[in-house]
Amino acid sequence: MKCFYDLHIHSALSPCAEKDMTPQNIVAMARLKGLGAIAVTDHQSSANCAAVMEASRDLAGPVVIPGLEIESSEEIHLLCLLPGLHEAQQMQRVVRAALPTRLNRPDIFGTQLLLDRHDRITGEETCLLLQACSLDCQTLALQVRNLGGVLIPAHVDRDAYSMLQTLGAIPADFPTAWLEFTSPDAARDCLGRHPALAAYRPLYNSDAHRLGDIAEARFCLDLPDSAGFGGAGCRHAILQALQPC
Ligand SMILES: [Zn+2]
Ligand SMILES: [Zn+2]
């Protein structure tokens, strides 16, 4: 069973995302694009995941994997995907406890909107989410694994916040079988310069901060037929497929 995915999407909780990245809009756009699975991955927070999951149930949308995009102490972005809401909330607590208590300046960084399933604003996150936490990549990987999730180095082909750029390589002991690339072209280019990356499997996500940037149904994961579309079975099968080994 082929499942078209986009597993790196920011909601309006990320200060750098547009305000119309609301639960219903994200789900409607993902449906329009024909995606079978999406992940909501705001910077350092999973607080809007429940609303997007509920909106997707209301609108018969794609399966929604709760997650967050974590910035480690090395200033590396990591795509964190978790099996359920409970685990996503637990991981958020871990990250929150490791975040400096610096308040957001909406006039400089943008607003950090908390939303419900009907796109109503329920509040604003006051702690600045665009800052590194004090946990390193390996510590984060261990925490995520203990929760049954996966931690995948994000946009490794980019210059900023990429594990490849920051460390000069993907450490052999970092537990991942997958690397996220911006596109197949970017992956090819990257592979030309770093042949050792051929050992990893590529994941192509949009990292959408605007509705129009949510991916077309172009990249898919091969899942067992028993996974079914939508629901917990599909979520579980995706997490299984992305495990380090
Ligand atoms: Zn990033
Ligand atoms: Zn991102």
CA 53–ligand 2 middle distance (angstroms): 19
Beta strands in the chain (DSSP E): 2-9, 37-43, 63-71, 77-81, 113-115, 121-124, 150-153, 178-181, 201-204, 220-222
| Cα–ligand 2 centroid distance for 61 (angstroms) | 22
User: Can you give the pTM of this predicted structure?
Assistant: 0.97
Report the number of distinct structural domains present in the chain.
Answer: 1
Please list all protein residues whose beta carbon sits less than 5 angstroms from ligand 2, which is an ion. Answer: 69, 207
Distance between Cα 15 and ligand 1 center (Å): 13
* Nearest alpha carbon to residue 69 among 42, 100, 108: 42
Report the candidate in 22, 132, 39, 20 with the shortest Cα–Cα distance to residue 77.
132
Q: 194: domain CATH number?
A: 3.20.20.140
Rounded to the nearest angstrom, the gap between the alpha carbon of residue 45 and the centroid of all alpha carbons in its chain is 10
CA of 192 to the centre of ligand 1 (A): 22
Q: Ligand 2 centroid to 207 CA: how many Å?
A: 5
CA of 76 to the centre of ligand 1 (A): 8
From the CA of 241, how far away is ligand 2's center (Å)? 21
Q: Are 13 and 47 in contact (CB under 8 A)?
A: yes
At 27-69, the pLDDT tens digits run 999 999 999 999 999 999 999 999 999 999 999 999 999 999 9
The sign of the CA dihedral 154, 13, 24, 18 is negative
Note the pLDDT of residue 230: 67
Q: What is the pLDDT of residues 165-184, one digit of tens each?
A: 999 999 999 999 999 999 99
Residue 134: pLDDT over 90: yes
Q: Judging by beta carbons within 10 Å of its beta carbon (0-12, 13-18, 19+), is residue 130 exposed, middle or buried? A: middle
**Domain of 118?**
2-241
Distance, CA 17 to ligand 2 centroid (Å)? Answer: 9
Other CB atoms within a 10 A radius of the CB of residue 241 amount to 18
Give 127 Cα–ligand 2 centroid separation in angstroms.
18
Sign (positive or negative) of CA dihedral 99, 102, 103, 109: negative
